[in-house]
Structure 1
Amino acid sequence: MAKPIPCLLSFADENNRVIVEHACNKIFDRPQVMMRDREYVKRKLRDLVKEGKERLMVISDFDYTLSRFEDAHGGRCWTTHNVFDYCTREFDPKLAAKFKLLWDKYFPI
C-alpha cells in the first residue's frame, strides 16, 4: 500500500489530521523557521485545512510574473496587490490604511 504524502490540503479524517500535524512539526522544528506565536500559526493552518481547498484563495502575482506590465496604450497595469490597494481606498478606507501600514513596513524589505 502506498504511503500517504503529507499535504496541508487533505483533512478528510483523523489519519490526515495526524499527517498534517506531522508535516507542520517538521517545518516548525527547523531552526531557520521563526514565528512569534507558534500555536496561533498552527491554529491558522488547521483552519485552512479544515475549510478545504475549495475555499482557499492564493494571491501570488505581486511582481508582474503572471500579469501584463503595460496595457494596450502603454499604461502600467496593476498587480494583484494594487487591485486590493486601490479598491479598498474606495470601499473600505480603514482597511486601506492597514494595507498602507503593511506596505510601508514590508516593501522596503
Structure 2
Amino acid sequence: MDTKGIDNLLGQLRGTAAAAAGKPVDNAAPAAGGADFAQVLKNSIDQVNAAQQQAQSMAQDFSAGDSNANLHEVMIALQKANVSFQEMVQVRNKLVSAYQDVMNIQV
C-alpha cells in the first residue's frame, strides 16, 4: 500500500496544528516523489469504478448468452467490485469522521 500520500497529509496537519499553537511552522517542501493525497484518492476511486464497470460488462455478456462468459468469473468480478466499493465507503466514512474532528477542534 502506498502511504506517501498519507504521510504528506499528516505533515500538512502537523504544520497546521503547529501554526494554530503559535509555534514556528516548517515550510519545507514535501518529500521528493511524495504523492498528492487528492491524486491518490482519485486514483483509488477510478480503480473502484473500473472494477464495477468491468463486472457489469461481464454480467451483461453472460446475460446476453455470450459463449465466452463464464459464470464463475462473472461472480468473482461482481464480488471484487462489491468488496472494493465497500472498502471505498469505509475510507469515505473515516475521512468524514476525521474532517468533523478537525472542524470541532477549539482554536
TM-score grouping bracket, smaller chain normalisation? under 0.3
Higher helix share: 2
Q: Kindly name which structure, 1 or 2, has the bigger radius of gyration based on alpha carbons.
A: 2
Q: Which structure's relative contact order is higher, taking Cα pairs within 8 Å and 6+ residues apart?
A: 2
Q: TM-score, normalised by structure 1?
A: 0.25
